[in-house]
Amino acid sequence: MCGICGIVTLGDGPRVDPALLDTMRDTITHRGPDDAGSWLSPDGRVGLANRRLAIIDLSPAGHQPMSNEDGSVWIAYNGETYTYAQHFAPLKERGHKFRSQSDTEVIVHLYEEHGHDCLHHLRGMFAIALWDKRKRELFLARDRLGVKPLYYTFAGGQFIFGSEIKTILRHPAVKREIDLAAFYHFLTFLTPPAPDTLFKGIHKLPPGHRAALNADTGEFRVDEWWDVFDESDYDPRLTERDWAERLKAKLTESVKLRMVSDVPFGVFLSGGIDSTVNTALMAAQMDRPVQSFSIGYKDAPGYNEFEWARQAASHFGTDHREAQIGAQDFIEFLPKLIYHQDEPIADPVCVPIYFVSKLAKDSGTTVIQVGEGSDELFCGYRHWVDILRLHGGAWRAYSMMPRPVRQLALAGAGAALSGVRHEYVRRATEGEELFWGGAEAFGEARKNVLITESMRRAVGGLSSHDVIRKYRRRFDERSPHADYVTWMGYLDLRLRLPELLLMRVDKMTMATSVEARVPYLDHEFVGLAMSIPQRLKVGEAIEPKRLLKRAVRGLIPDAIIDRPKQGFRVPVVEWMAEALGAMGKQKLREFCARTDYLRWPAVEKLIDARDELAWYLLNFALWHEMWVEGREA
């Protein structure tokens, strides 16, 4: 695992400054403290750089940037290709020579054989930057599910890219301006949808996409190379038992692949189904105890899951470690949180992820398996169940009423409905999609109360439903099933999961120089799971994770399978009301006074109501203060 960055000069632009390239590289030393490398083309017009966290082939032969035999192809690579070893023999038979035992060098030679389609031969997580001297082309790629990030921009006659936005901001030609449309969408989705970021002109490559830049003409092309349904293989003859057995076998394979490492590895263990299954499958394939790690809260024991994590650790004989944090830890960590987020990932779970990652690193463990993705694949959220029942009942009946009747009903009931209920009725009234993702903050009506008049004018008639409509169109064109569970899974796999949940994992684990691996997001496992229709996944009664529970019963204790879902929660409401209260309110008041994004009376109302949404706004204000106003840590 690594951090990468680079610069390509376009047309008559300035040559790459090697000192600037090294500065950009070393801004993300936390992503790769073990080694650093930079490469500058002989004409000074292309520069690639890498910070290395040594995981596979720890020798100096794994140094990056790395080239092929004649130096016509150079690569800077962040990620892991778990099946890399199977490519050595075929590539050697084709005449390729290796100087290392690294997956990085495998990718170089696969590119020589297959060009851009080399990506289809990679099973893993990655962000790739590859310079092809003969074609005068920079090739960029992000893995299928978006586990690893990749950002880019054009500025000062150059193309600049990196694993984190902060490395791009080191370039003196890059401006720090807010993209107001992205901010508007951020208020709903807690993250700007790809390809936009909150920085105007800085973009992120969407998951499953690749790009090619011609350094001579400046032509830049982005295309999708993989979609969730590309691996779909629905067979109507298969029974529920058949699907359960296939899921278990494929997940076992996925966990085993993610144990490929030349350094110690372990698992984040909450005691829920997902992390316990990870632990069980690792333990079954190891001749030593699994290293497991849990996090909890000193001042909010009701949020802790230690009892379940300890039960799982005891059952599987893991070498288990725990840590607890409190409100004061949270406050002291805030500047570092804002620094490492790059964008305001408005999810307080970033905080415990950082501290449990630090616990692992301090214990000598560099690679960790995590459980992200399971809930999206198997309807694991209570919120999803509520949406499904609403969609199949009152929503459908209301949507069938004539539109004028719906408009009158919305106008008459508006004052009596709470925020989320009002938003659902508004969507039904306007003929919009019900489900906008597994994590929503402010609906359209609440946003327009929250933002200032000038912000409303700046975004015009923009609606965040425009984002949803785009994904719904793709879903209707590609999905093997028209049911709502499949739609919800598809949307979250394309939007919330890569740009919010996986970004919080990437940014917080890498802040501690830990690599997180995600077995539930192996693309073959995802393809299998997304082949299964709603009736088999959740049944008529809409039971969360019904099919996954059947697949793993007997693998982990029944008590863990049948326990109520608690979720990875953070006592941010309590912290905002107590330790963070005065500071948070003051920060937001001052922010509203000196900027023109949010209306203070609406913000104050949220704070006084002890609404968790106030944290999202504080996160944005602190981020803006550091990264836009220039008070960088």
Going along 269-318, which residue ranges are E strands?
291-297
pTM of the model: 0.96
**pLDDT digits 0-9 by tens, 35-47:** 999 999 999 999 9
Query: Which pLDDT tens digit goes with each residue over 563-609?
Result: 987 777 788 878 877 777 788 899 999 999 999 999 999 999 999 88
Q: Is the pLDDT of residue 66 over 80?
A: yes
In this structure, what DSSP letter does residue 628 have?
I
User: pLDDT tier at 58 (50, 70, 90 boundaries)?
Assistant: confident
Distance CA 195, CA 224 (A): 12
What's the pLDDT at 40? Answer: 98
List active site positions: 2
Residue 119's closest CA among 90, 143, 87, 94? 143
The tens digit of pLDDT for each residue in 139-183 reads 999 999 999 999 999 999 999 999 999 999 999 999 999 999 999
Question: Whole-angstrom Cα distance, residue 577 to residue 610?
Answer: 6
CB 41 within 8 A of CB 47: yes
Query: Over the stretch 185-216, which tens digit does the pLDDT of each residue have?
Result: 999 999 999 999 999 999 999 999 999 999 99
3-class DSSP state of 344: coil
- Rounded to a whole number of angstroms, the distance between the first and last alpha carbons of the chain is 25
Show the 3-state SS of 135-190.
Answer: CCEEEEEECCCCCCCCEEEEECCEEEEECCHHHHCCCCCCCCCECHHHHHHHHHHC
- Among 3-7, 56-60, 375-379, 536-540, the range scoring the smallest mean pLDDT is 56-60
State the pLDDT at residue 400: 81
Q: How far is Cα 38 from Cα 34, in angstroms, rounded to an integer? A: 14
How far from the centroid of its chain's Cα atoms is residue 266's Cα?
20
DSSP track, 475-544: HHHH-S--SHHHHHHHHHHHTHIIIIIHHHHHHHHHTTT-EEE-GGG-HHHHHHHTTS-HHHHTTTTT-T
Nearest to 614 by CA among 583, 593, 596: 583
**Domains observed in the chain:** 2-226 (3.60.20.10), 246-377+499-522+532-562 (3.40.50.620), 382-489 (no CATH), 572-628 (no CATH)
Assigned token pair, 527: 């393809």
pLDDT at 233: 87
Mean pLDDT of 260-275: 94
| H or E segment and range at residue 356 | helix 350-362
Does residue 422 register a pLDDT over 90? Answer: no
SS3 breakdown of the chain: % helix, strand, coil, rounded to 5?
A: 50, 15, 35
Give yes or no for a contact between 106 and 66, defined as CB atoms under 8 angstroms apart: no
Per-residue model confidence (pLDDT) at position 1: 66
Element holding 73 (H helix, E strand): strand 73-81
Residue whose C-alpha is closest to residue 148's, from 123, 168, 116, 125 = 125
585: which 2 tokens? 């309110």
The answer to whether the beta carbons of residues 28 and 79 sit under 8 Å apart is no
Arithmetic mean of pLDDT over the chain = 94
Residues 335 and 633 sit within 8 Å (Cβ to Cβ) = yes
pLDDT grade for 404, boundaries at 50, 70 and 90: confident
Helices 613-623 & 581-594, crossing angle to 10 degrees? Answer: 60
Residue 611 pLDDT greater than 90, yes or no: no
Angstrom distance (rounded) from CA 312 to CA 108: 42
